[in-house]
Amino acid sequence: MVLALSALGTLLLLLVLGLFAFGLRRRVIQRSGGTFDCSARFAPPRAGQSLGKGWLYGVARYSGDRVEWFRVFSYAWRPRRSLHRERIQVRDRRIPQGDEELALLPGAVVLNCRHDGLDVELAMSEDALTGFLAWLEAAPPGQRVNVA
């Protein structure tokens, strides 16, 4: 009985520490400011696949001439992806369709982009989208920016 209670207590402590680490990590990422909730799909679905597949919930942070993207459900302190402003090509935007409405946050807008020759879809709120597009257009003189 004592062993079972000890094991349960240890498991509960590990769970609390894990949740604390998630919260601490998010605070550290947001500490420098310029962050927004941003789901991402780095491999858009092929023909016949469900639109709701492949979305990863994350947080994006502006850092100079790039946007760093972090997965929410991860303990990694480094960004999973880094999108450079001069290499982002915005193709179009759309509202979530079908299963995507369940996979994304309410009110999200999907931005179809190309970065370094790869298709990337970013889903963010209208306010975050306005800020993202303004950040892209505010590139230093001489940088080519392609915003649809």
DSSP string of 28-57?
A: HHHHTS-EEE-EEESSPPPTTS-TTTT-B-
Q: Mean pLDDT across the stretch 42-50?
A: 70
User: How far is it, in rounded angstroms, from Cα 50 to Cα 116?
Assistant: 25
- Convert the pLDDT of each residue in 13-36 to its tens digit: 888 888 887 777 777 777 777 889
Question: What ranges do the domains of the chain cover?
Answer: 1-31, 33-137
> Quick check: 145 pLDDT over 90?
no
Residue count (the chain) = 148
CATH class as words, domain 33-137: mainly beta
For residue 133, pLDDT over 70 is answered with yes
Write down the pLDDT at residue 48.
62
Please, are residues 59 and 115 in contact by the beta-carbon 8 Å criterion?
Answer: no
Q: What is the model's pTM?
A: 0.77
What are the pLDDT digits (tens) for 60-108?
999 888 999 998 877 777 888 999 998 999 999 999 988 888 889 899 9
Which residues have C-beta within 8 Å of that of residue 84, sequence separation ≥ 6? 65, 66, 115
Mean pLDDT of all residues in 42-60: 78
Measured between alpha carbons, how far is 54 from 37 in angstroms, rounded to an integer? 17
How many percent of the chain have pLDDT more than 90?
39
Give residue 148's pLDDT: 57
